[in-house]
Structure 1
Amino acid sequence: MITAHPSLLRDLIERCETLSGCVATHPSADTVRRLEDAAYTLCVVTGTRELDTALFVARRQMAAAMRRHQPLHP
């Protein structure tokens, strides 16, 4: 099975979490669109259909990569 590089997963997780917080506190059409784009990308790279599931799978894949000592690039 092909998986995304952990640094991409980390970036997408952080982006989704940040944008989710922004949408919750100060929603705007641009922020909602950016969250939808990030969520879509995360779902595609994790093979899922919902953001919560994508976040779970991405975190699990990152943990597995850390166990294999695969380096994360900043």
Structure 2
Amino acid sequence: MLMAHPAVLRDLVEQYETLSALHAEDGSPESQQRLNDVAYTLCVSTGTRDVDAALIAARHHLPGARVEDDSVLDEEDTPKPPAATSAGAGI
């Protein structure tokens, strides 16, 4: 799957967060439409179907995202912590 350039993703995330912070969904029809447009563009740009998943995917692809960030992995794909060993116990 092609992914939008990180600069585009960063801009879309910032626009969505700004519009959400300004409560665009409760505002004028124009601001509601802009919020919907940005949400749709985020979904298309990240190959997701809802804005929450799109935000996670976009943030995961931004520079500085932690390599070990597993927020976009399915539960079955999530790495399991190593089992505790009893080496050295009781010595």
Aligned residues: 67
Structure 1 residue 45, shift from structure 2 partner: 0.5
- Aligned residue for 1:62, secondary structure, equals coil
Aligned to 1:70: none
CA shift digits 1:19-74 (9 cap, x unpaired): 1111269622111100000000000010011111100000001147797xxxxxxx
- Distance in 2 (CA, whole Å) between partners of 1:24 and 1:40 is 15
- Residues 16-55 of structure 1 aligned to structure 2 (within 5 Å): 16-23=16-23, 27-55=27-55
Deviates more, 1:17-26 or 1:54-63: 17-26
- Distance in 2 (CA, whole Å) between partners of 1:25 and 1:65 is 29
- Aligned residue for 1:48, secondary structure, equals coil
Aligned to 2:75: none
| Same amino acid, percent of matched pairs | 51
- Aligned residue for 1:4, secondary structure, equals coil
Q: Which amino acid aligns with 1:21?
A: A
Structure 1: 5+ residue runs without aligned partners? Answer: 68-74
Greater relative CO, 1 or 2 (CA 8 Å, sep 6+)? 1
Aligned to 2:88: none
Structure 2: 5+ residue runs without aligned partners? Answer: 68-91
Question: 1:22, 1:31 within 8 Å by CA — same for their partners in 2?
Answer: no
More helix by share: 1
> Where do 4+ consecutive residues of structure 1 move more than 3 Å?
63-67
